[in-house]
Structure 1
Amino acid sequence: MDSFLPFTLSSDQYRILLTAIVFVASAFLFLVPKLSKSKRLNLPPGPPGWPVVGNLFQVAGSGKPFFQYVRELIPVYGPILTLKMGTRTMVIISSPELAHEALIQKGQVFANRPRENPTRKVFSVNKFTVNSAVYGPVWRSLRRNMVQNMLSNSRLKEFREVRVSAVDLMIDRMKSEAEANQDVVSVLKHARFAVFCILVSMCFGVEMDGDEIERIDQMMKTVLIILDPRIDDYLPILAPFFSKQRKQAMQVREEQIKTLLPYIDARRSALKNHLGSDKMAVSFSYLDTLYDLKIEGRQSTPTNDELVTLCSEFLNGGTDTTATALEWAIARLIEKPEIQSRIYEEIKSTVGDRKVDEKDVESMVYLSAVTKELLRKHPPTYFSLTHAVTEPATLGGYDVPTDANVEIFLSGIAEDDRVWSDPKEFNPDRFLSGKEDADITGVKGVKMIPFGAGRRICPGLSMASLHIDLMLARMVQEFQWKALPSQKMSDFSEKLEFTVVMDPALQAVITARK
């Protein structure tokens, strides 16, 4: 994820924040005369804030998750609002019309990314990734390479056997856990492992054992944790108080490079020497497209540090989003057994007794409707990756300055009762009636955009959809899913980790199909 979203403050962090007010009060008083002379922006409405820190205290001190805080502001201030978070200005959009205006109608202007904090810059190698790059030649080069040479439909088909192997392994691991745990399995854990297996093979062109995969996976989790927002992201003057955290971040970055670089070097050597050992069982990989990649505006090819960053982006970008979707999917099938039965009946009528294949899921209309409803009700994150404007712009009649973080509140859009009937209800049939549908790319109109929309739409949309469809179909074909008696399925509590996960994590009782 790339959004700068707030956090809950501890008592120690409150003291630091109070210290910040004292530190910067004199600077604020010095700047007031200059600010009063500058052009006053017509920003969207929002709650009044304090000098220097803006709304940071209200948000962090509310005791509520940020998404819930925003939900409660929308009825008060409308579908576009402003939060002042220290030195950062957040413009939050929650209506389909405004999202379409920003991402489609004014897509080129809203295609930038905001400035990064110093820690994040270390890991992105100064914004050298598809998701974080400034809108321009570097972004065009990186995105074009990823989409054309790795995520096109023709290229994805080359990794069919990789997916078959990973999904088979997932099923076997679920069976093993069920046998050892009175038929109870942890859904997210197994889904995440399977997706990560696929992406590791696609990225590095190698087949690894479970211990290797889990070691790399743990490293990727550590990277995501170290990138969580801190107070000094919003108040850079507090940076001296976070020297320990910066040192920890540098150590994590060193460990990340140490973990991934051997695989990068091994693949480079294998390609150079035309080797085809058992460890290099995949004939093509994402890395193959990167070694000699030409970047517009620069003569050099990516450095080793940049290769580590691009590989990490590929692994992190598609793992938690897909795994989280599968956890929510199984929860919904347990909540509504009739939906689970209809998927199973569609599988049986399509493939009979043989194992369902990814070609089969392309013709499963009801499965597709379930997946689409899943992504509407449970987008992987509350907000799309943060946008910024390339030049001063207007949106909904309000000013959007170039230093603003433009946040798209996905849940607000997907639950808008002006475009959806009974939006709180999980109902796949809405996509079968012909009365309700949605182009998830947003091109034909924004109603749900779980992958974002416009020029910065997630390049892995097709891959994620394929993985969700295939893995969900196999999970339903192999097992009947029921609720763990001790876990209530009525409220679907959620929390933000790297993505929006169930709270607590879903455990389910499985019974093998006969």
Structure 2
Amino acid sequence: MASFSSTIFTALIFTTLSSAFFFLFRRLKSTPLNLPPGPPGWPIVGNLLQVAGSGKPFFQYVRELLPKYGPILTLKMGTRTMIILSQADLVHEALIQKGQVFATRPAENPTRGVFSCNKFTVNAALYGPVWRSLRRNMVQNALSASKLKTFRNVRMTAMDKLVDRLKMEAEVQNGVVSVLKNARFAVFCILISMCFGVEMDEKTIEKIDEMMKTVLITLDPRLDDYLPLLRPFFSKQRKRAMEVREQQIATLVPYIERRRLAIERPGSDPSASEFSYLDTLFDLTVEGREDPPTDAEIVTLCSEFLNGGTDTTATAVEWAIARFIENPRIQTRLYDEIRSVVGERKVDEKDVEKMPYLNAVVKELLRRHPPTYFSLTHSVTEPAKLAGYDIPTGTNVEIYLPGIGEDPKLWNNPDVFDPDRFLTGGESADITGVTGVKMIPFGVGRRICPGLSMAMVHVSLMIARMVQEFEWRSSPENMKVDFGEKLEFTVVMKTSLRATIKSRV
């Protein structure tokens, strides 16, 4: 370990010295940019060592900078420049007023590029014909209101399985259950069915889920993502990434082939559903390309579909249950609304729109606990201005969501979890950002999350069923909920929530 550290340190010194002259020469020849303010950094590495050496999660580091540098600030992270926005009017100017200019993505690191097939995904694609083709296909042919309805039975089956799993776990653990783990498995089951359209047993689903987690872990940022000259020292990590990519393809291709065969030979697979997202990919026409997606590209698109809606939804459910335990009055009021609307039968997703308090709870949940602290990174298609500052091409434009959802200028008592703010409190929020930016858990503008409608259905239905079936209490009894947070794939509870459930039946 000491030898490795010494090698890295030597490499950093060499990188700094050999690059300093190049950057100094380039700076002397170029016109200085008027970038937003930010903490001073070191030559070449910028603020990278300050962030890494702070011992704090990145979102916490940024949160502490905002009072000093304001709602738009710059961080130099090696060769990357990050401009962070944390105020609604700045986000509106960038993503609504100048939406087309701010609609692209920055260059990817080589590891992420391997998994995205060089940006062949809805989320990662550069603003242009590939992105338009992929997004249009996903929104119109897989996530439209009519297509979502075709998976109603899938969602109901998954909810029944969730209830059964919670009951079985409670039986063997004296009423105690793990919230996030069970919620995550339930939503993953839904997405697997929607994506592949073939029946899989729980063991297979868990295998694919573990594969997806491994991919996400492999995509965690590394030092050489910010200092490319260090890449020779990370050859083992690159090799490992290639191995994971090969495993990902080997895991998913058999189910792609199974679905392809089911389409070519109707009736050959009794478990095959009438429609799946995968069906739209086999002969997908992409602007500027003659050939349909390759198997590797289909694996990438399916993985995006699965990863994009799993942890975000499950995390939201965990925070919701934590809030119900903290404030039983909210849980009781929600249960009473469910009973008044559906009586003794199971909650159906069609019932959700008739439950104003449930909808207020979900909105407040997404305001107070957005699934991620930063929306997906934006970049500009051409040099631009924002709030009078220069935004050069290649810059990472990051949106810090809590700065908006917790802004006291936009919200009364923003630190308080209060669903009534959307009812008797008279406050409002359009989560799409169309009528104004006040909370944007799904992003906003041209790159808004295409799965917004699906996510709202899943979160609302899961919360409703879980409250309808069980009364949720702290574990151990009378233990105060710890609302500390940490960043994994999403922002999760620092101490994973374990709760005591009591069946209402």
Tell me which interval the TM-score lies in, with the shorter structure as reference length: over 0.9
Task: Give matches, 1:5-404, under 5 Å.
Answer: 16=8, 19-280=11-272, 282-404=273-395
Give the structure 2 partner of residue 6 of structure 1: none
Structure 1 counterpart of 2:451, which letter?
Answer: G
Would the alpha carbon gap of residues 331 and 120 (structure 1) be closer, same or farther in structure 2, given more than 3 Å must change? same
What do you get for the CA RMSD once the two structures are aligned? 1.5
Q: Measure, in 2, the Cα distance between the counterparts of 1:244 and 1:15.
A: 15
d(CA) in 2 for partners of 1:197, 1:346: 28
Hey, what's the Cα distance between the residues in 1 that align with 2:197 and 2:380? 37
Q: CA deviation at 1:388?
A: 0.3
Deviations 1:338-369 (A, max 9, x none): 00000000000001111111111111000000
Query: Does 1:414 find its partner at 2:405?
Result: yes
Q: Which moved more, 1:213-222 or 1:437-446?
A: 437-446
Which piece of structure 1 moves more, 394-403 or 135-144? 394-403
Q: CA deviation at 1:29?
A: 1.8
Give the aligned residue type for 2:365. L
266-275 vs 241-250, which deviates more? 266-275
**CA–CA distance in 1 between the matches of 2:3 and 2:71?**
33
Q: Pick from 414, 428, 433: which aligns with 1:437?
A: 428
**Structure 1 pair 30–486 and aligned structure 2 pair: CA distance change class (3 A):** farther
**What SS does the aligned partner of 1:279 have?**
coil
Q: Distance in 2 between matches of 1:221 and 1:13?
A: 28
Q: How far 1:497 moved relative to its partner?
A: 0.3
**CA distances 1:9-53 after superposition (whole Å, capped 9, x unpaired):** x99669625631333312212331221220110000000000010
Task: Compute the displacement of 1:298 (Å).
Answer: 0.8
Task: Check the 8 A contact 1:383/1:407 in 2, yes or no.
Answer: yes
**Could you tell me the TM-score, scaled by structure 2's length?**
0.98
Cα distance in structure 1, aligned partners of 2:276 and 2:140 = 13
- Amino acid aligned to 2:66: I
Please tell me whether the aligned partners of residues 119 and 126 of structure 2 are also in contact (alpha carbons under 8 angstroms): yes
Question: Equivalent pairs: percent with the same residue?
Answer: 69
Alpha-carbon separation, structure 2, partners of 1:412 and 1:223: 30
The amino acid across from 2:445 in the alignment is: G
Report how far residue 279 of structure 1 moved. Answer: 2.9
Deviations 1:382-422 (A, max 9, x none): 00000000000011110101111000000111000001010
Measured in 2, the distance between the counterparts of 1:294 and 1:200 equals 24
User: In the comparison of the two structures, how many residue pairs are matched?
Assistant: 505
Write out per-residue CA displacement over residues 432-480 of structure 1, whole angstroms, 9 at most, x where no aligned residue: 0262110001111110000000000000000000000001000000000
Which residues of structure 2 form unaligned runs of 5+? Answer: none
**2:404, 2:337 → 1: CA distance?**
30
Distance 1:183 1:15 in 2: 52
Output the CA distance in 2 between the equivalents of 1:512 and 1:31: 65
Q: 1:450 aligns with which of 441, 454, 475?
A: 441
Q: Is the 8 A contact 1:482 1:509 kept in 2?
A: yes
Q: In 2, Cα distance between the equivalents of 1:422 and 1:352?
A: 35
- 1:488, CA displacement in angstroms? 4.8
Q: What displacement does 1:490 show?
A: 4.6
TM-score (norm 1): 0.96
| C-alpha contact 2:19 2:44 (8 A) present in aligned 1 | no
The structural deviation recorded for 1:485 is 1.9
| Secondary structure of residue in 1 paired with 2:271 | helix
Runs of at least 5 residues in structure 1 that lack an aligned partner in the other structure: 1-9
The AA in structure 2 aligned to 1:371 is V
Counterpart amino acid of residue 334 in structure 2? I
Contact 2:81 2:396 (8 Å CA) reproduced: yes
Task: Tell me if the contact between 1:120 and 1:227 (Cα under 8 Å) persists in the aligned partners.
Answer: yes
Between 1:136-145 and 1:436-445, the stretch displaced more is 436-445
Separation in structure 2 between the aligned mates of residue 153 and residue 30 of structure 1, nearest angstrom: 54
Give the stretch that moved more between structures: 480-489 or 256-265.
Answer: 480-489
Q: Per the alignment, in what secondary structure is the counterpart of residue 211 of structure 1? A: helix
